[in-house]
Amino acid sequence: MKMVKINHRNLPAVGIGTWNLGDSSTTRQDEIAAVQAAINAGARVIDTAEMYGNGRSEKLISQAIQPFNREDLFIIDKVLPSNAGKANLEHRLDRSLKMVGTDYFDLYLLHWRGSIPLAETVIELERMQQKGKIKSWGVSNFDTADMKELWKLPDGNHCVANEDLYNLDERGIEYNLIPWMNDHQVPLIAYSPLAEADTISGKLTHNKVLQEIATNHSASVYQIMLAWTIRNDNVLTIPKAGQKEHAVDNVTAGQITFTADELTALSQEFPTPTHKEPLAII
Ligand SMILES: NC(=O)c1ccc[n+]([C@@H]2O[C@H](COP(=O)([O-])OP(=O)(O)OC[C@H]3O[C@@H](n4cnc5c(N)ncnc54)[C@H](OP(=O)(O)O)[C@@H]3O)[C@@H](O)[C@H]2O)c1
């Protein structure tokens, strides 16, 4: 299994996304079973947010992690930009901790940039880390200019990760954000790595090259898409799976490695960016 280091923890590079989990009572038990199956298969990182179902995802996680040791897991939560200032951040963090049923998060992210000054958010995040409520903090939906701005702030370089949209069909961040992050040793957390089951462009699952590579590896095209996001170091990928079989397939995909020819073939189908593109966001 491919591994990634975040805040000195060596973690399996396939984690668990949780957006929309817990939204429906009819699928809830299956979703809990899917999260547990992923953990039993070897996943350790769970990505949630106060925004997801206004706490429903956090609540589902609290139930799903019951059988496991908290210290074995690495739980990521996110604060909404409107709550990321002195007035609200600690209160929102306390609420999220209560929802998940834990007394600390391993990583707490600013979900995206809003109108509260970044410097104020960093001060609050640092304060929360000193209080022990979070082990580390990071950002999400930050582009290169945002990272550079963050690095200029006092303690801004304590940020341990940036979570951005990244999949075969959305390679824009390879132009200058991933190189900047590698230079500064900031891991990428790749969200929507399956392009939301190829519902964004619809160009992936029917692609012949992708299908052929999947056959080579006795894998599904989704497993190939996922393994591709972690083909290089310093990337954690967080697919969401509400179905147990998908959850296990995703963790297993962490073992797939590609030949140079396969990577070249994929880049011919899904080219790397040749110029700066606006940051893709969902
Ligand atoms: N920071 C941010 O702003 C941000 C934004 C978006 C997402 N995220 C995070 O990233 C996570 C993943 O992104 P996402 O939920 O947008 O989409 P995604 O992971 O790209 O795709 C999820 C979809 O793929 C399906 N799927 C999962 N594994 C599969 C497999 N092995 N074979 C076939 N289909 C499979 C799922 O189906 P089933 O559910 O039916 O299994 C679901 O429909 C989120 O859950 C969230 O934690 C963060």
Order of strands, sheet of 107-110, starting from the edge strand that comes earlier in the sequence = 16-17, 45-47, 74-79, 107-110, 137-140, 162-165, 188-191, 235-237
Ligand 1 pocket check for 191: Cβ under 6 Å: yes
* Residue 275 marked as a ligand binder: no
Chain mean position to CA 48: 9
Integer angstrom CA distances of residue 16 from 141, 201, 221: 18, 23, 18
180 in a structural domain: yes
Q: How far apart are CA 218 and CA 152, in angstroms?
A: 47
* Catalytic site includes residue 166: no
88 in a structural domain: yes
Centre of ligand 1 from the C-alpha of residue 214, in Å = 19
275 in a structural domain: no
What's the pLDDT tens digit per position in 12-46? 999 999 999 999 999 999 999 999 999 999 999 99
Any idea of the CA torsion for 182, 188, 194, 196, to the nearest 10 degrees?
-130
pLDDT value for 72: 98
276 in a structural domain: no
What's the pLDDT tens digit per position in 98-151? 999 999 999 999 999 999 999 999 999 999 999 999 999 999 999 999 999 999
pLDDT value for 69: 98
Closest CA to 169 of 134, 199, 138: 199
Ligand 1 atom, smallest distance to 48 CA: 47
64 in a structural domain: yes
Ligand 1 pocket check for 229: Cβ under 6 Å: no
Ligand 1 atom, smallest distance to 239 CA: 19
Question: CATH code at 128?
Answer: 3.20.20.100
What's the pLDDT tens digit per position in 52-86? 999 999 999 999 999 999 999 999 999 999 999 99
pLDDT value for 1: 92
What domain range includes position 170? 9-269
Q: What is the mean pLDDT of residues 248-276?
A: 97
199 in a structural domain: yes
282 in a structural domain: no
Q: How far apart are CA 190 and CA 167, in angstroms?
A: 8
Q: Which residue in the block uniquely carries the two structure tokens 């699952």?
A: 205
pLDDT value for 158: 98
Yes or no: say if 13 and 236 are a contact pair by the CB < 8 Å rule. yes
228 in a structural domain: yes
pLDDT value for 111: 98
Count of alpha carbons within 13 angstroms of residue 26, beta-carbon side: 0
pLDDT value for 52: 98
Structure-block tokens of residue 175: 């132009």
Closest CA to 210 of 262, 138, 155, 158: 262
Ligand 1 pocket check for 196: Cβ under 6 Å: yes
| Domain count for the chain | 1
What percent of the chain stands above pLDDT 90?
100
Structure-block tokens of residue 58: 């956090």
Ligand 1 atom, smallest distance to 243 CA: 41
